[in-house]
A and B are shown apart, each in its own frame.
Chain A
Amino acid sequence: MKQLRENGPQEPDPERPNRFQEPEQIKPAAAESKPASLEFLDTGSEKLAAIYDRAKDLLGKVNSAPITPERKTELKSKVGGYIFRAAKLMRVAAMIMCLGAMHELGEREINNIDMETDHVLKVFSGMEGLTNEDKEIVLRNALRGQLASAISFYDEYGPSAKDPEIHKVFVEAESKDKESLTNINEMDIQKIFGLLARETTSPEKVPVDETLAEFKAGRINYDEELERIFETRVGKLETDKSSKPAKYYSALKELLNECGRPKLRFRLKENNYQPNPGEDERSFFKQNQFTAFLDIPVDNYSSGALVAELAHAKQWDAFPDTSDRQFARDAASVSRMSKASGQSYRKTYDKTMYNSQGSVEYQAHKLIEPELKKRLKNLQAGTAKPPVEIQNADLLFRQRLDEMENKLFRQIVENSQDYTNKFKYATSDLEKRQLERSHKSKSAAIEVEYEKNRKNFQEQFWRDYKMKK
């Protein structure tokens, strides 16, 4: 006792593992760090090392103990058993750790968004600027249109622009082949940009070979040129630091996750020459790729386009089948209407679809989009409520339409089967002709009746819906 009082309380030996230590509290894994279960690979291996140290210590003690050799071998075999069991138990622990890590990694995989989508989100929330690639994506389509004038420009100055390389570019451009234009290498793009810059900004056209000479001499900086063309053609993107980008970003990310986590891409702008008819100058959502193609947000980071396309993602995520079928229906009715009115498909689509109840566009932009906007505000403010649910009236409407269509298909199939059966046993040409005629008139009648029923149903459904409301 005296000795103890003199020495004070004994310090714990740092060499020796403290087996009475409380298990450490586990912190939840950060989004970008390694899984929490993998962190225990470190603690696990530490523990294993401690066990082996202890075994070594025990063996030393046994060896130096004043006991009989028989007893020594007995104790040594006990220490051997200890080491064996340690290895076995630690292997089990390692397996458990791996399982935990796999589980966690799996979860993370689901929650992950790809790098490009993340970049688009960051641009929208003002955390990142546009890269050269983004600008090229935006401008490349503008190039398609501009190249047409560049070709005539070449024709005008043809004799002076005999550089074989640039000639190749023009030939490729002249073919207006989408593949060859998207595969042009960087040098060619630089040349075209140079040409465009000279052509669009200077009052007098500068000959091709002069521009080329400037490029070759390095007097034209590609990055600066790109920036300048982007500004003149699209606009200047100001980074908005006032709206707390990090918070906005996390709100957008949360919203993206709630809408089925679609991919986000910047889309081609200013289609002077449209590569695909049907695509126009707006953002759009491609349901088969589950990707929103977005305009670059030049007007003060308005997330309008993003939220609008997320509404489509939400729609297709929640009800892929009914949305697909409705989209086909919309397309059919739009093409019918455009034929009748003589206007283009796109114009008719824009005019009618956004205001007709039951259509894909109506559901997305009139029903889901306002909810998503509210949701984004709540997420930003931190007053999170349960996620947005799609209204059921539209869904019910579509399901009823699905039933009607199924009936129509059945009738058509029965009619054609009946016709083929009778046609087989027809004896004379006259009979065959009569059968053909009656088949045609029957199928026409079926379709007319379907159209009538559909129209009546549509009107009545929404009338009832309004009454109920």
Chain B
Amino acid sequence: MDAAKINKTINKLADILDAEADAIERELLSETLKVPEKKRP
């Protein structure tokens, strides 16, 4: 396996992880940006 392939593989793995972190962040943002609903009596 040459160095270029190794680099590609590592970058791919890092991309997958980044996507997961992005998903978590998006979820968090949607939670915080959500306008709290007024409690109905």
Query: In the complex, which residues of chain B have a beta carbon less than 8 angstroms from the beta carbon of A97?
Result: 6, 10
| With known contacts A51-B14, A65-B32, A93-B9, A99–B1 Cβ distance under 8 A | yes
Number of B interface residues, CB 8 Å? 25
A95 CB, nearest partner CB in chain B, Å: 10
Q: Give A92 to B32 CA distance when docked, in angstroms.
A: 35
Query: In the complex, which residues of chain A have a beta carbon less than 8 angstroms from the beta carbon of B25?
Result: 58, 61
A370 CB, nearest partner CB in chain B, Å: 38
Query: In the complex, which residues of chain A have a beta carbon less than 8 angstroms from the beta carbon of B5?
Result: 100
Q: Give A24 to B27 CA distance when docked, in angstroms.
A: 31
Contact B24 A82 (CB under 8 A): yes
Check if A44 is an interface residue, CB within 8 A of chain B: yes
Q: Contact flags (1/0) for A257-286 with B, using CB distance below 8 Å?
A: 000000000000000000000000000000
Query: In the complex, which residues of chain A have a beta carbon less than 8 angstroms from the beta carbon of B6?
Result: 37, 40, 93, 96-97, 100
Query: In the complex, which residues of chain A have a beta carbon less than 8 angstroms from the beta carbon of B21?
Result: 51, 54-55, 58, 82
Interface segment out of the listed A83-91, A164-172, A245-253, A385-393: A83-91
Q: Give A267 to B15 CA distance when docked, in angstroms.
A: 60
For chain B residues 1-30, which have a beta carbon within 8 Å of chain A? 1-11, 13-18, 20-21, 24-25, 27-28
Check if B31 is an interface residue, CB within 8 A of chain A: yes
Check if A9 is an interface residue, CB within 8 A of chain B: no
Contact A62 B28 (CB under 8 A): yes
Query: In the complex, which residues of chain B have a beta carbon less than 8 angstroms from the beta carbon of A79?
Result: 24
B13 CB, nearest partner CB in chain A, Å: 4
Contact of A47 among B8, B14, B31, B32 (CB under 8 A): B14
Contact A89 B16 (CB under 8 A): yes
Residue of A nearest to B3 (CB): A36
Chain B residues in contact with chain A, CB under 8 A? 1-11, 13-18, 20-21, 24-25, 27-28, 31-32
User: What are 12 A-B pairs at a CB distance below 8 A?
Assistant: A24-B7, A26-B3, A39-B3, A55-B21, A58-B25, A65-B31, A66-B32, A67-B31, A89-B17, A93-B10, A96-B9, A97-B6
Known: A40-B6, A82-B24. 4 other contacts (CB 8 A): A23-B7, A36-B2, A61-B28, A75-B28
Closest 5 CB pairs of A and B: A36-B3, A19-B18, A89-B13, A26-B3, A23-B11
